[in-house]
Amino acid sequence: MIFVTVGSQKFPFERLLKQVDRMVESRIITEEVVAQAGHSGYIPRFCRCRAFYDRDAFGALLERCDVLITHGGAGTMVEAVKRGKKVIAVPRLARYGEHVDDHQLELTQRFHEMGLVCACPEVERLAEALQWVQDYRPAPFRSNTEAFLASLDAFLNAL
């Protein structure tokens, strides 16, 4: 199963939803697709879709999916890579009114360079990205939380 999520911010991400819907309709994608459309006005016709799933349902879909196609939000990407999921990250772009700036472009590229996700900066390349992730094995996620907290603790103690 492919799970598609566009995040929960109050920005639409119709480019991604429309591309996935076209790919299902034309049978480029033959697996089951479940989508969370968020605040997008476009509702896919060829995928099971809701505007939002509650935390438990979202987690269950994430656990069940073979591939996650997501916006470039750090929280969603980190949650998926912690679970060892194959992630295709399509950043929201400011030029389409999908976000206030292009930080998701930078973030997805950095996660890609770390071997954690497949960055797909343009939805027109989504079919290529899906082909690429078939044999892809993501790098294991290593949290830097302990080092950060130790550094913060040392800083605070030095005050």
With beta carbons less than 8 A apart as the criterion, state whether 35 and 47 touch. yes
Residue 133 sits at φ, ψ, to 5 deg, of: -75, -10
Higher confidence at residue 101 or residue 38? 38
Q: Answer yes or no: CATH 3.40.50.2000 is held by domain 2-158.
A: yes
Q: What is the pLDDT of residues 56-109, one digit of tens each?
A: 999 999 999 999 999 998 899 999 999 999 999 999 888 888 888 888 989 999
147 vs 73, residue with greater confidence? 73
- How is the chain split into domains, by residue range? 2-158
Sheet with 86-89, side-by-side order of all strands? 48-50, 33-36, 2-5, 67-70, 86-89, 118-119
Give the other-Cβ count within 10 Å of 158's Cβ. Answer: 6
DSSP string, 103-127: HHHHHHHHHHHTTSSEE-SSGGGHH
